[in-house]
Structure formats: structure tokens, C-alpha cells
Amino acid sequence: MPKDMTMTTEPTDIFTRRESEARSYCRGIPALFTSASGSIMRDAEGREHIDFLAGCSSLNYGHNDPDMKAALVQHLMDDGIAHGLDLHTDAKARFLEAFERHILAPRGMDHRVMFTGPTGANAVEAAMKMARKATGRTNIIAFTNGFHGVTLGALAATGNGYHRGGAGMDVQGVTRLPYDGYATGVDSAALLEQMLGDASGGIDAPAAIMLETVQGEGGLNAASAEFVQRVAAIAKVHGALLIIDDIQAGCGRTGRFFSFEEMGVMPDLVPLAKSISGFGLPMAAVLVRPKHDVFGPAEHNGTFRGNTHAFVTAHVAVEKFWADDAFQTELAEKAALIERRLTELAALVPGAYLKGRGLMRGVDVGSGGLAGAICARAFENGLIIETSGNEDHVVKVLAPLTTPVALFEQGFDILLDAARDVLATTKIAAE
Amino acid sequence: MPKDMTMTTEPTDIFTRRESEARSYCRGIPALFTSASGSIMRDAEGREHIDFLAGCSSLNYGHNDPDMKAALVQHLMDDGIAHGLDLHTDAKARFLEAFERHILAPRGMDHRVMFTGPTGANAVEAAMKMARKATGRTNIIAFTNGFHGVTLGALAATGNGYHRGGAGMDVQGVTRLPYDGYATGVDSAALLEQMLGDASGGIDAPAAIMLETVQGEGGLNAASAEFVQRVAAIAKVHGALLIIDDIQAGCGRTGRFFSFEEMGVMPDLVPLAKSISGFGLPMAAVLVRPKHDVFGPAEHNGTFRGNTHAFVTAHVAVEKFWADDAFQTELAEKAALIERRLTELAALVPGAYLKGRGLMRGVDVGSGGLAGAICARAFENGLIIETSGNEDHVVKVLAPLTTPVALFEQGFDILLDAARDVLATTKIAAE
Amino acid sequence: MPKDMTMTTEPTDIFTRRESEARSYCRGIPALFTSASGSIMRDAEGREHIDFLAGCSSLNYGHNDPDMKAALVQHLMDDGIAHGLDLHTDAKARFLEAFERHILAPRGMDHRVMFTGPTGANAVEAAMKMARKATGRTNIIAFTNGFHGVTLGALAATGNGYHRGGAGMDVQGVTRLPYDGYATGVDSAALLEQMLGDASGGIDAPAAIMLETVQGEGGLNAASAEFVQRVAAIAKVHGALLIIDDIQAGCGRTGRFFSFEEMGVMPDLVPLAKSISGFGLPMAAVLVRPKHDVFGPAEHNGTFRGNTHAFVTAHVAVEKFWADDAFQTELAEKAALIERRLTELAALVPGAYLKGRGLMRGVDVGSGGLAGAICARAFENGLIIETSGNEDHVVKVLAPLTTPVALFEQGFDILLDAARDVLATTKIAAE
Amino acid sequence: MPKDMTMTTEPTDIFTRRESEARSYCRGIPALFTSASGSIMRDAEGREHIDFLAGCSSLNYGHNDPDMKAALVQHLMDDGIAHGLDLHTDAKARFLEAFERHILAPRGMDHRVMFTGPTGANAVEAAMKMARKATGRTNIIAFTNGFHGVTLGALAATGNGYHRGGAGMDVQGVTRLPYDGYATGVDSAALLEQMLGDASGGIDAPAAIMLETVQGEGGLNAASAEFVQRVAAIAKVHGALLIIDDIQAGCGRTGRFFSFEEMGVMPDLVPLAKSISGFGLPMAAVLVRPKHDVFGPAEHNGTFRGNTHAFVTAHVAVEKFWADDAFQTELAEKAALIERRLTELAALVPGAYLKGRGLMRGVDVGSGGLAGAICARAFENGLIIETSGNEDHVVKVLAPLTTPVALFEQGFDILLDAARDVLATTKIAAE
């Protein structure tokens, strides 16, 4: 039996002493968290924090959803499978059935589900490999400010130079082009089309074009439906697969289950992770159209491809939130609330403007310094919120989609007060 | 509220219809599993199977260990954090404290723990990137029959051509050399030393030399302590880091917590995964000496770096099994049992011989066909067991380390009967 | 003693039988050439051809210039060195002295001369390697429609997909961006600046930016001075070297010795080849500023780095053509003649327009079919001329710079007649 | 008209001032060479040097062979083509005819000739690209101590770390394995066979296996016929092409035209350069079997693919030396002379031993310091000779094959005296 688990030293000591310098969020959000429910996190000092970060969109249904929790506890009590490699389990069957019935079938998607190692990066790697194997080509076109993970294959597609620098070597196999609206006066889809169509354009025939419809890490840049449609058409003309990385923007974040639902495109490959388990448990998948489902058995393998606990909660998530339209209707209302309050925030800062789409919104306040200061002040007052963008200059709201209206308003009050405080201080300092 | 979860179709239909062709174990082990405890898995037809696969060494402490289960249920009931990015949590602190006290400190290891995305491949990617960044070099030396994962960076180090082929592109940054005992008459360490020391040897100065001390997927090839020591010395002379990938061989599998404990070497980087959570939950880490802990904050990041549920069970695993020598003593006895019974198996097949080390053992029966037939027959009789090796010619025993002696004997009885049956049938067929 | 060299079969048989399918110009220009002088080539049937191709700008001073010929014959008769590796020879000293006095010093260039293997591709490879070694970076930015050679390093910078396809593997180390004027509405320098300056622009910090000021193979696209200046400034800001590949546009082709002379930029590295020997002999060099002259002895080596015969003729070329302004004045007049006559050509074809700069001009006639037909017809009538561009849609004039005015007019008469013939035939066919 | 070419400064000043630091041979052989004939080079001070370097085997027929010279002068006087791109010329036809009649046909070779850019590196690049395109594979197996050139593709196959370091980036596409006799106790062909045949050997299916039969730069390591045969057989089994790089060892250097003639193998691809022109002029070619001649027109191109002057002299070389067996017989005698005299040299130095084959021989004297000192002393006494090997520890004799016996003896006398002097001095210093 494990002994009593009393910690003999200050808990943060152990992190400094034994956790790698690579740790990050804990630096800007310096509390020791002990429990959480819904949109509230509690720390060891008994303080409550409103969570507008939601595990970077991994907790779209909030912390410890009671129905998922109940199902998982029951699974544990029944000695349900905890680890089953990629064996058939009842939990996996239930998840797949629900996912087919409530997600895939109603949207006319014939995609199969490939469970990859339970990280978004792994799903992206699998999608990139699959596209390359299916087409016999190497090159994958990705976009400025895209973020797709930091393992070597996915990292090549990630725009951020700090992350790419971590590779310690040249990354391969990706061509970078400007995202929708990236450069003033540049029609990004037209440039892509011209360079691909040009015999001396210098871009190898692509296996895939990969994009996020809203760039979560890249600054909440939202592509227009027209851009996504044109990219889809260009991909088709050039024999490339269309990969829509819906890891952060999927699972309801933009107001629909998939971020591309109302855009009139049907991606060939869709990496999913973050909120797919519903409960914040590690889980990832690639949706793939049957004709591109080209891996042989275990050709892309991994020990944790089937996180059975995640299947249990994911099943509940699908049944509870996506069996009818109720949740989607609720999301539209909350998206409007977010837009209204962020418009207020933008009005406080000269030159600031709204970014993003649905419930994946933010305000570009013009500098990383200001955005960071606002978030830091908000944290002091009980709100967990983070920045985004190539210069961390966007205050980003990624609250649980289930956040009650009153709590949303309360969180925004803290945020706006924080912005006012910081701006006042800055103004005084400037005078 | 989720509705009743009755499945309306035969459960296996859904897998065929909606799961990717990449699925693998479920093909050779065609049951629908519903629950498990200790070394026993149960299927939907109520059948019990002895598990000699243990999630490929991810379930070293068996299924649903009651203490870990109790701790996890309690954590859930308390609304403990399920997903906390890499924030400080009480669960992480408890795990780190226990890991320091019972694992690192007693072994004189000053290593820090970097929690990576919760897959072995991600830990390997992080270790490779870290070695490259720390040394400013690209090349990593890996060995024939090594297996390190299938994301693009790790895949370069993986010897298996089927897996490498899945990349659909050339992989980069790794030089392959023969493993200990690979080729008759070749002193692999001497060849490595000569090629590295030669100004025209054609091998770029290495960032790291990476190896498994026992190649789990590669056929249970066990390196000698002398080989590992010589490789460690060569790495040091050439300014390369030593990475020991202990994902499969670690966490007690060879009889000690680490597979290299008694070899007199101190690796710079140690990727861990599989059994580190104790419960089969996704979790991975890289142990890194402070001087090589060179990533900046979030330079290698990922959403699921801290699987809090896994910290809860991992903490229990460390306290329960590694706080004193009892478990280790037990392992030595079981290793002897395994050796005794596998020697019996080897005696049945002309030319067959034992492979591996500790509780990571197998028998090379000379052909993939024979090994596969034995495992298939064993499965029919209630034993889950798999093959390994470049031609799947090794019958591999990776039972939970906690398997009771009687159950071990029962499993081996099934295995030996299966071998006798298959051999008899083969003999009859040949006559 | 060699025997009589009478050929016993039709000479073209031997090419079909024993020369590789990679041969190319001989397919579109099907004669057996035996001698040449000035701008005239003679074939085995005694026919004379006006040469508007000039060895793709390798014969800027025409065929068999009498002074160069005399010097080379004298060198041979004196048993002058034919092959001297990179040893000091009198011939090399004379060339370097003249090149310093008449080319480098008057233009304020402190560059050193690195003699590489005598091909343009080798000079480009050396320049790319040098930039990478000098900066410690890998990435080199090249442009749409650029052509820099077909060895693996240079090929990565070459836009043409047909050539890149010849590699049979992925090429590495180059980022492609749109050239000046490439895409309607796109300010190519601004896009380059934005993507490089953006922390998530996804372009690795460049070792160099490499461009031709006029893209000879890419369709005679001429960059504006402003574009080149902005690129030079961007390179400086980002710590990248500026490589101006003057292999085709240098040695007087644009009206000055270097194509960048009047643009107010000073490149760090300048690959030269083609006309540098003056006589069409293989010779190549990289001009490099002393601070970037970072190779150690023989670090970039090769057997034919010093083609002594080429030094002999190159020395004469520099002394004869570049010791004063006379030749340059003559070039301005001929450039005007070319522009006048090509304007006539463009007027014949609806939508056609002039391209290029100086004596490196052509007409975009809108399709490769039409351009090819015009060149084929011109060949029948005694003019050797070729197409250029990603679709071979540009009729390109690369006559020897020394072509007398009357011969220029004669050549253009043939060209215009050919165009009229082809257009008439096409018109008739269309009716 | 060029002015008088009197040099106004000390000639060596100009090299220091304006030639790149990459220059190399001129550093160890510090004379200003002005003329040469046969095996004698003359410097500006009127001194004569016996040449045992022969342009690194580029002057196998000596300097300024009178018949080649006469033919080239006549060609010049007739205004023969100097530069003709890859157009058909009479000079090329004559060379191809003679090469077919005297070289290819008698040896049963159906190979075609691909003229590449006139450097050995370019021929190697073309061969590597062709093998990759023909097989659809990337990987090329090369060997320790191999040298194949320094452009990016060829450099990957070059073992020397100093040269590879010049790339400033990671090179790709080559797997390195030990050459024949490289490591004590290692059967290199067997190791190659095992690793290639092993599903987890970690070596990608090769497009080609490329080797020199004698490693000229790598220390005069000579492969046995048996090794080359086994490699040829392994290549065939694995669908890989066999590339024998005969740039340094071909054209008579080992006693036959090709170095592999008596080995019972027929390579698919043979890069040639150095002595192929006969006169030291830049020229290179790849011999390729018709079925692998897969490049389309100009797919591998280059301006100087047809060095017409080189065709003129190469034609004479083939007719003069290879039309009958006389030269070959002479070579056997000279090879014996070289072996006899180098045996004497080896006897002077404890532990020294002969290396190489045919007229490509040397003595491993155990250290680069000693080998360098012997060569330096020899140079003072009138003999040009160089070192070779990964540590420059081999004194290498690469004299013109046409060196008269008496001059050979004289050169060896100087060499042996130099060795005695150096050893005596060293001994005195040691005492």
C-alpha cells in the first residue's frame, strides 16, 4: 500500500529541482492547482480561478463534467479496460458508434477513424505520412503562422521559428506560403495557384495542403470560407489531399463540431485531438476518407493508440452534446456574448481589433508586452487567460464552451478591469 | 444526459466500417475485451485470457491495480485536475517527489524530468531534439533492429523497413550501425569506434548514440554490459550524448527499475513511457541531466504533457513497488521461472534458443510462420502472447511483472501445449 | 601515332547509338557542326548559320576570336601548362592581374576569386556552401523561375520542375519565393521582408538570398534595380549574404561587365562561368568578399579548378574588351538595335511583348508552340536561335556581343521572316 | 588588341591578394609553373621537376603529348568548334567512334556515353541522379574513405569529414558502410549483405552501390576482385545499380583502360573524368547501360557538356594508346618497376607497407607528418609527389603512365633519398 502522501517540502521546490526547463504555462500562471469543475480551477491556497484557457481548447466541455466523471468512475469500478493497445474493446465500439451516428453520418462524412498516439502532433504526423504514402509525393504545403506540433514531421509544418529552432536540425518536406490575409495586397490563394501551376514555380508537386481554418497559436487568424474553398479546389486540381487540422478549432470551438462545416469543403484528412475525449484526457485521431486509408496494419503504430478511459468520456461527450442541436444553439449565443465583450476590450486599446471566429476569439492589442501585462493582471484577479500570435500580441479567449453566461460575464469583467488597470498604469508611466 | 449505450449492431461491424486499416493487434487477437484485472483480460463472451503481452510492457503492474484504481477513483470523486497542461498540480508534485525519493536519488541520478506528449515516440523525439540542440550536431547513431517510434524524427532511428516505408519520404539525421552481436565476427563497438575516429569514416560527428539495452520489438536482442559500457565511452570521447531508450525495457521489466542499472553507465537522456504511469495510462517523460536540459520554456511543447490521472497512478506505482527491495527480489525469482519455462519451450523446437533478459524474454523458433502459429494456438487456449523480431520469429513473453507464480505456470503450460500441438501438426503435414 | 580519322559510318549514327538520351540542343538544331568564327557556325554540308544562341551566352565574344586563338596556339606551341590543378601558373597570374586591374579595381570590388570546377553549377554550389559555412545557417532563398544548375545543391535553387525531377529525390535547403513582378499585385520584396521578419513566418533564417538580375533560362524576366536593392537591404538586415548569380547575365551580356553594376548593390558572392574564359572553354569562378572567404585549403576542391587554356583566353578577353569603355559603348548601340528589331517582332504577334535587358532580350509570344515553330523555321533559313521560359514561350536572342551590325540585321530579318511565315501558316490552318 | 602582358608585380602577390583561401596544391608545391612536357614541369626560375602527381591522374599520358597537341593546334587553326553546347560536332563524332571501336566494343560494353559538365563531381552527380530516377529509390550506398567530389550530391558519398564539413549543412541520401578490408575481422561484403537483407537492418532499399576499386584519395585502398564481385551480386539481388567511379583509377591507371576490367563485373554506371581527355582538359562522362539511360533531353544539362577541344585530344588519346595492346604491355612493366621501388621505400620505414594497384601505388608510412616531410624534401630535390589517405599518411605515386623508365628510376631515387634524409633527421632529433 502506498504510504501517506504528505509532501515534505514546499511543492514548488520539486518543480524547480526536478522538472525540465521546458515547462512553460506554470511560469506565467504560478499556482499549484488541486481541483477543478466546470470553468473553475482551485489552487492549493483555496483560491478559485475562472478558466478562460480551457487547456488550450482541450476542455471544451469544462473540467470534470459530471456525466463523463460518473461514466469513468463506473468504468474503473467495473475493472473496465484501462490499456488495451488497439484491441477491440466495448468502450471503443461505443465511442465509434456514437461518433458515426451523431458526428460523421449527419455530416455526410464517410471517413474512417485512425486512432494515433494520443497527441495532436502524432495525429498530424500520421496525416502527413498518410498523404505522402497515398500520393507518392513528399511536399506538403503549410502556411505562415500555422502550428501543427513539434515532433520532427509536424514541426516542419509549424511556422513558429522558436519551435522549429528546437529541432536542432533542418526540417524537411514542407513548403510555406502566406495564409489568407497574411500580406497586404497579396491574394494568397491566387499566389498558391500560380506557383503550383507554373512549371518553373519551384514548388514540388504536393502530397497535401494542410491548414487550420482558424490559427489558434498563430494569432487567431481566421480564414474566409472562400479561401478554404479555393485551396480545396487547388488541391484537387493538383492531385493533393486537403488536410484540415481541426485539433484546436474542432469539437465545437467555432460553434459547430468541425470548424469547416459550413464552408462547403470536405477535407481528405482531419487530425483531431485536444477536446475529442471531452474530459481533457489524452486522445487523438485522424479522420481519413476510405480511399486514402493506405496504411497497412501497424504501419503507423504506438502503444497508447487506444486510451480506453478517453473512449469512455468521449462517448459521453458525443451523446450529451452532439445528439441534437441544443448545444450548437447555445454556442451561437455565447459566441455573440464573447464578441460583444471583446469589442469592449478592443475599444479600450487604440488600434486594437477583434480576431478569430466562434468561441475562439481574441483581441490584437498591438504588442506582446501589453497583452502579457493584461493577462498577468487578470490572473491576479482570478482569471486564467493567455496570449497568442507570433509576437504574443493577441489576448486569447478559449473558455470552456459550457461556461455559464454569468461566469462568462464575470470573467470578462475581470479581463476588462485588468486592461483598464494596465493601460492606466502605462499611461501614468508614460507621463 | 447520455442515453443508454446499448449497441445496436454487432460490435465488430463498427471497427470494420469505421476504424482505419492501420489497426493491428485486434487482427491477431480477435476478441472484444470488456474488463481486466491483474494478469487476466475478459472478453464480451465472458471468456478469460491470461495476458502475456501486458500492453507491450505498458502494464508491468497488471490491469487495474487496486491501489492505483482506488487513488484514481478518489481523485475523480474529489474533482482532481484531469487536464492541467503543464501547470503545477498537486498530483504532479507528488509523483515527482516520489520519483526523486525512490527512483532517482537512490541511483545517484541528478536528472530532471521533462514531461513530453504522452507517447514513447514523443519522448524519443524530445530526447533527439535535445541532444541535437545541446551539441549543435545533427547526426544520431542508432542500431540495427532498434525501434524508437514512428513519428518522423524517431522513425529515422527505427530499423524496421515496413515502418520507415510508412513515412512516404526519406527520413533524415540518423546513421545506422550494427548492434551488439548483430553480425558474426563483427565487434560492433570496435567498428563504431573505428568509423567515428576515422577522418574519412564518413560518419558525421554525432549528437548522440541511442540504443535500447534489450531490443523489444527487434527480437529481444540483449546487449552485453560490456557493449553498453564501450558505447558510453565512445560517446563521451566523441562529445556525443548517450540516450538509453528505456521505454519498453524500463520500469522493472529487466528486473530493476532501469534496464541499465547494473551496467555501470549513466545515460545523459532516458526516454520513458509505457509502464511509467503504472496503470497503462498515456504518459511519457525524458530524464535529462541538468547540463543538457537546454530547451527554453515550451520549446518542445504539447497539450497533453501533463496527464494528471497518470501522475496519480504513477505516484502509487512508485510508492507501492519501488520504495524498498521487495518487488525487485520477487522479479528475480520470476525471471528464473520464465527462463526455466522458456528453456523447455526452446527444447521443443530444433535450433530454437532463448533471447532477452530479465522478464523480457522469448524464444527464437526460427521462423515467423512457426512463431505466429504457436501464438495463434495459444490464444485459442486462453493465452494472449505475441511475436517479435525482424521476421516475427521470436515468441515473446511480456507478462505483467506482478503475475502470480501459479498463473505464470498456467500461462506457460498453455504456451508449451500450443507449441507441441503446432509442431505435431506440422510434422504430420510434413509426413 | 593516331591513324587516319575517317569516319566509317554516317556521323549522326554514332550519336544515336552511343550518346545518352540526355542530349538536347542537337535535337532542335540538327546539323553536324565543323567550324565557326565570329557569329557564324558552319556545318558538315558547308552551310553557314548565324548564331543567335552563342553557347547560351558562353560565346559573348564570338567563336574563335583571333586574338584569343593566337594566344592559345602560342601557349600550345610553347608547351604551356595545359593542366596544373590549382598550382600557380603564369597563365593564372596574368589572368588574375588583368581581372583585378580592369574588372575588380575600377568597380571598387575587393572580392577574391575562387576557381571552382569549370561549370556554372559548381560555382553556384561553392557559393551556396560558402554562404552556409560563413553564416552557420542552411536556408537559401531563391526565386520562382530561377535557374542555377542541376547538381544536387544548385538544383534545389532551380525553379524548373523538369530539372528538379531529374534528382530522383527531394532536394533540400532552399526556400522559394516569388521573383520581382511574378504575381499580379504582389510586391515580392515586401512579401520576402514580411515573411523573414515574422517570428512565425515559417522561413528559417537564411544563409543567403540568391538571384539572377535577369533570369536567362526562366524567361528573360528582368528584376528592377529597386527590387535588387531592397533584396540586398533585406539580406543585410537578416544577416544573410547576397549571391548574384551572374553566370548568364554577366561578362557584358546586359551591357556592363556585371549585370548589377548600375544597381547600387555590392553582392557578397558572384558565381561566374559561361563567357568568363572568352573563348567558350570551361571555366568558372566565384567572386567572394574576403570576410566570407571561409573555405580552408581544398575544402571545396576539384581536379579542373584551373583550366590553364581558359586562363590564357580569359586574359586576352579582359585586356581586349574591358581595358577601356569602347566595348561598353558599342554594347549600348547594339542593345538599342536588338530592342528595335524585337519590338518589330512583338508587333507581329498579338499580345506579344519584349522581355529582358541589354543584349539579353526576347519576345514572349504567348505559347511554347509558337515560339518553337518560329525558331525551327529560322533554323531552316540559317539562324540558330532558342526559346526560354517555363513554357518555352519566349523567343530569346543571345547573340555574340561582337556580332557586327549588318549581321545582326540579317539575323533579325531571318527571324522576322520566320515569324511571319509561321503566323501566316497558322492563320491559314485556322481558317 | 591585348597589350603586352608583362606582370608588374611579383607573380605570387596576385595569388595572395586575389585568390581564395580554398587554393591548396600551390601551398605545398610553391613554384610558379610555366611549361611542361611529358613527365617534366618547368617553373619560372627555369627549374625542372619530375611530375609524380600527374594532375592527380589527369595527365596519364603526360603533359602536352605531341600528337594531341598537333591535333588541337590544327583544330584551332581550322577554326574548329571551341564551344558547341551539346550540338553534334565532327570532333565529338570522331571521339565517340574511336571510343566505341577501341574501348567499349572490345570489352563487350553496350554502354552509352553521357557527357556531363566537365568535372568528375558532375559525372558522379549525374550517375547518382540517374540511378535514383531509374530505380525510384533515394539511398545510395558508399564506403568508408570513398571520395566522389564536393558538390552537394556527390559530397554525401564522400567519406572525408573535412570536405563534408564544407557543405555547411547536412548532406542526404547516402548510407556509409565499411570498404573491403576496412576493419579487422569484418567481412565488409557480408555485413553489407546482412544489413540489406534484414527487414529491420535499417538501410533503405538502395538505388545504387557506388565504389572505387582503388580509393585514390582515401589512401590507395584496393578492393579485391572478390569483394567487387560480391558487391555486384548483392546490388543485383537488391535491385540496385552498380556504379564504379573510375575517375581516378580509370584510363589506364591500374594497367587496363578500366580498373574493373579483369574483375568479372559489368557496372551499370561508370563516371569518368580526369584523364579521359588525354591532355588534362576538362571533360567528364558517365557510361550508362541503355536500360538505365533514363534522363529526358536536357534533364541533366550544363553549358560545358561538350568541351570540343577535349574531344579532339581524347580522340587522339584513344587511337594512340588503346588501339592495340602495346601500351597495356608497357604498363605492366612499369607497374612492376613501381612496385619494386616502393618496396624499397617501404623497407626504409618500420611498419610501412605498399598500397594500391597497378600504377596507382603508394606506401603507408604510418603518419601524415612523416609522409608530408618526405614529399616536401622530394620537392626540394626536383620531384613533385603528394600524400593521400584519411591522415595523409600514404606517399602516393601517380606519375604519367608514359613516364620513361629512366625518368621513373630518377624520380624514385629522389624519393628514396628524401625518405632517407627525413628519417635520418628525425632519428637525430630523437636522439
Mean predicted confidence (pLDDT) in C388-413? 97
Say whether both A336 and A191 belong to one domain. no
Does D162 sit within 8 Å of C302, measured CB to CB? no
Annotate A92-125 with b (16+ C-beta within 10 A) or e (fewer). Answer: bbbbbbbbbebbbeeeebebbbbbbbbbbbbbbb
Mean predicted confidence (pLDDT) in C329-338? 98
Does B201 sit within 8 Å of D390, measured CB to CB? yes
pLDDT interval class at D318 (50, 70, 90): very high
pLDDT at C4 over 70: no
Give the pLDDT confidence of D279-293 residue by residue, as tens digits.
999 999 999 999 999
pLDDT interval class at C5 (50, 70, 90): very low
Last residue in a domain, options D322, D352, D368: D322
pLDDT at D9 over 90: no
Contact B279, A82 (CB under 8 A): yes
Min Cα distance C171 → chain B (Å) is 11
Say whether both D132 and D166 belong to one domain. yes
Q: Which domain holds residue B31?
A: 3-64+327-430
Say whether both C336 and C383 belong to one domain. yes
Chain B, nearest residue to A149 by Cα? B302
N- to C-terminal Cα separation, chain B: 64
Give the DSSP letter of residue B74: H
Cβ-Cβ contacts under 8 Å, A138 against chain C: 170
Last residue in a domain, options C270, C303, C322: C322
Min Cα distance D169 → chain A (Å) is 8
Cβ-Cβ contacts under 8 Å, D142 against chain B: 202
Minimum-distance CB partner of B299 among A67, A122, A163: A163
Does D185 sit within 8 Å of B186, measured CB to CB? yes
pLDDT given for residue B429 in this prediction = 73
pLDDT interval class at C22 (50, 70, 90): very high
Minimum-distance CB partner of D202 among B144, B185, B205: B144
Give the DSSP letter of residue D38: B
What's the predicted TM-score (pTM) here? 0.96
DSSP B282-307: ---EEEE-GGG--PPTTSS--TTS-B
Say whether both C244 and C291 belong to one domain. yes
pLDDT at C346 over 80: yes
pLDDT at D11 over 70: no
Last residue in a domain, options D298, D322, D346: D322
Give the pLDDT confidence of D147-202 residue by residue, as tens digits.
999 999 999 999 999 999 999 999 999 999 999 999 999 999 999 999 999 999 99
pLDDT given for residue B12 in this prediction = 63
3-class SS string, chain C: CCCCCCCCCCHHHHHHHHECCCCCHHHHCCCEEEEEEECEEEECCCCEEEECCHHHHCCCCCECCHHHHHHHHHHHHCCECCECCCCEEHHHHHHHHHHHHHHHHHHCCCCEEEECCCCHHHHHHHHHHHHHHHHCCCCEEEECCCCCCCCHHHHCCCCCHHHHHCCCCCCCCEEEECCCCCCCCCCHHHHHHHHHHCCCCCCCCCCEEEECCEECCCCCEECCHHHHHHHHHHHHHCCCEEEECCCCCCCCCCCCCCCCHHHCCCCCEEEECHHHHCCCCCCCEEEECHHHCCCCCCCCCCCCCCEHHHHHHHHHHHHHHHCCCHHHHHHHHHHHHHHHHHHHHHHHCCCCEEEEECCEEEEECCCHHHHHHHHHHHHHCCEECEEECCCCCEEEECCCCCCCHHHHHHHHHHHHHHHHHHHHHHHHHHC
Say whether both C142 and C194 belong to one domain. yes
Minimum-distance CB partner of B198 among D142, D144, D191: D144
Q: Write the CATH number for A14.
A: 3.90.1150.10
pLDDT given for residue B428 in this prediction = 76
Which residues does A314 contact at the CB level (< 8 Å), separation at least 6? A95, A99, A276, A277, A278, A279, A283
Mean predicted confidence (pLDDT) in A283-305? 97
Q: Is D134 exposed, middle or buried (0-12, 13-18, 19+ CB in 10 A)?
A: buried
Chains B, C: CB contacts within 8 A come to 3
pLDDT interval class at A7 (50, 70, 90): very low
Chain B contact residues (CB < 8 Å to D): 138-139, 142-147, 158-162, 164, 170, 172-173, 175-176, 178, 182-187, 190-191, 194-195, 198-205, 218-219, 389-391
Min Cα distance C89 → chain B (Å) is 31
Percent of chain C with pLDDT over 70: 97
ipTM over 0.90 threshold = yes
pLDDT interval class at D250 (50, 70, 90): very high
Minimum-distance CB partner of B113 among A20, A118, A172: A20
Give the pLDDT confidence of D19-78 residue by residue, as tens digits.
999 999 999 999 999 999 999 999 999 999 999 999 999 999 999 999 999 999 999 999
Say whether both D259 and D379 belong to one domain. no
Looking at per-residue pLDDT, the higher value among C353 and A13 belongs to C353
Does A185 sit within 8 Å of C187, measured CB to CB? yes
Say whether both D279 and D312 belong to one domain. yes
Say whether both B355 and B406 belong to one domain. yes
pLDDT at A306 over 90: no
Chain D, nearest residue to A137 by Cα? D136
Number of domains comprising chain C:
2
Say whether both A73 and A150 belong to one domain. yes
Does C169 sit within 8 Å of B169, measured CB to CB? no
pLDDT at C207 over 70: yes
Min Cα distance C390 → chain A (Å) is 5
pLDDT given for residue C10 in this prediction = 59
pLDDT given for residue A277 in this prediction = 98
Chain C, nearest residue to A193 by Cα? C183
Chain C, nearest residue to D273 by Cα? C303
Chain C, nearest residue to B136 by Cα? C136
Say whether both C292 and C339 belong to one domain. no
Does C161 sit within 8 Å of A200, measured CB to CB? yes
Cβ-Cβ contacts under 8 Å, D158 against chain B: 202
Q: Write the CATH number for C280.
A: 3.40.640.10
Q: State which residues of chain B have pLDDT below 50.
A: 1-9
Does B390 sit within 8 Å of D202, measured CB to CB? no
Say whether both C141 and C214 belong to one domain. yes
N- to C-terminal Cα separation, chain A: 64
pLDDT given for residue B98 in this prediction = 98
DSSP B309-370: HHHHHHHHHHHHHHSSSHHHHHHHHHHHHHHHHHHHHHHHSTT-EEEEETTEEEEE-S-HHH
Report the alpha-carbon distance of residue D57 to residue D49 in Å, rounded.
17
Say whether both A131 and A238 belong to one domain. yes
pLDDT interval class at C152 (50, 70, 90): very high
